[in-house]
C-alpha cells in the first residue's frame, strides 16, 4: 500500500516537473527559437559592455543559431546599432552645434555700402578647424568605430559597467548617452507579465 502511494506521488511529481519544463520550453521558444522574434537590444546592451563588444556577440549568435540565421541576425544587430548611433549622433550634434561664423559663406563679404564687414569677437581659424574636424571625423571614423576598435576591458569580479561608462563622457559622449538609455531598459518582462497576470 505504501509503495503504491509512493509510486503515485513520484508519478504526480514527474508530471508536474514535465508540465513545468514544457511551459518553460514554450516560453523560451517564443522569444529565442525564431531569430526574427529576438529583441536585438539585448545584444546591443551586451556589446556596449566594454568587456565583450561585437566579437563576443557575434560568437554567441553563431553558437546559438544555424549559419544563415546567425548571419542575418548579426546583420540586424549591426544595422540596429548603426541606426541607433546615427540617431543619437544627430541629437548630440543638434544640441552642440552652434553657428561657426556670423556671415553667409556664399555672400560677397561686403555690406550694403560696399565695405568689408568686420567680424568682431570671432576666431575664424578656430571656427574653421572645429568645422573641419567635425566633418573629417564623421567621414572617417565615428565614436562607434573607435569604441568597437579599442581593446576590450579585462574582466574581473569588481568591474562596474555603469562606473566605467560614467568616466567615458569625454571619450565617447554620443555612445555614453546611448548607453545610459539602453542599459536602463529592463532586461526581462517577467515582472510586468506577472503583474499583468495577477
Q: What is the pLDDT of residues 55-67, one digit of tens each?
A: 999 999 999 888 8
The answer on pLDDT for 158 being more than 60 is: yes
In a domain, 146, yes or no: yes
In a domain, 55, yes or no: yes
Query: Coil, strand, or helix at residue 49?
Result: coil
DSSP 36: G
In a domain, 23, yes or no: no
Domain with 76 in it: 34-98+110-191
Residue 77 in contact with residue 48, Cβ under 8 Å? Answer: no
- Per the prediction, the chain carries an average pLDDT of 77
CA dihedral over 41, 90, 171, 136, signed as positive or negative: positive
Average pLDDT of the residues in 44-69: 90
**Residue of higher predicted confidence among 131 and 179:** 179
In a domain, 19, yes or no: no
* Nearest one of 38, 43, 63 to 53, comparing CA atoms: 43
Confidence of residue 191 (pLDDT cuts 50, 70, 90): low
* Nearest one of 31, 61, 29, 27 to 44, comparing CA atoms: 61
In a domain, 82, yes or no: yes
Q: What is the pLDDT of residue 192?
A: 61
Provide the 10 A C-beta neighbour count for residue 51: 14
The structural domain count of the chain equals 1
The answer on pLDDT for 99 being more than 60 is: no
In a domain, 81, yes or no: yes
Confidence of residue 141 (pLDDT cuts 50, 70, 90): confident
**Residue of higher predicted confidence among 187 and 43:** 43
In a domain, 187, yes or no: yes
In a domain, 86, yes or no: yes
How far apart CA 12 and CA 170 sit, in angstroms, is 61
Amino acid at each position: 500500500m505504501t509503495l503504491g502511494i509512493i509510486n503515485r506521488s513520484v508519478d504526480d511529481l514527474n508530471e508536474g516537473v514535465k508540465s513545468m519544463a514544457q511551459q518553460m520550453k514554450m516560453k523560451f521558444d517564443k522569444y529565442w527559437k525564431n531569430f526574427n522574434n529576438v529583441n536585438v537590444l539585448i545584444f546591443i546592451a551586451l556589446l556596449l559592455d566594454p568587456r565583450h563588444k561585437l566579437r563576443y556577440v557575434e560568437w554567441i549568435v553563431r553558437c546559438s543559431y544555424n549559419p544563415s540565421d546567425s548571419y542575418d541576425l548579426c546583420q540586424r544587430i549591426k544595422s540596429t546599432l548603426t541606426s541607433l548611433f546615427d540617431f543619437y549622433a544627430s541629437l548630440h550634434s543638434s544640441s552642440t552645434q552652434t553657428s561657426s561664423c556670423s556671415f553667409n559663406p556664399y555672400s560677397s563679404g561686403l555690406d550694403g555700402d560696399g565695405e568689408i564687414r568686420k567680424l568682431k569677437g570671432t576666431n575664424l581659424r578656430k571656427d574653421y578647424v572645429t568645422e573641419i574636424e567635425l566633418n573629417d571625423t564623421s567621414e572617417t571614423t565615428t565614436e562607434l568605430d573607435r569604441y568597437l576598435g579599442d581593446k576590450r576591458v579585462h574582466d574581473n569580479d569588481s568591474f562596474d559597467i555603469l562606473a566605467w561608462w560614467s568616466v567615458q563622457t569625454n571619450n565617447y559622449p554620443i555612445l555614453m548617452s546611448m548607453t545610459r538609455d539602453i542599459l536602463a531598459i529592463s532586461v526581462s518582462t517577467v515582472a510586468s507579465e506577472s503583474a499583468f497576470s495577477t
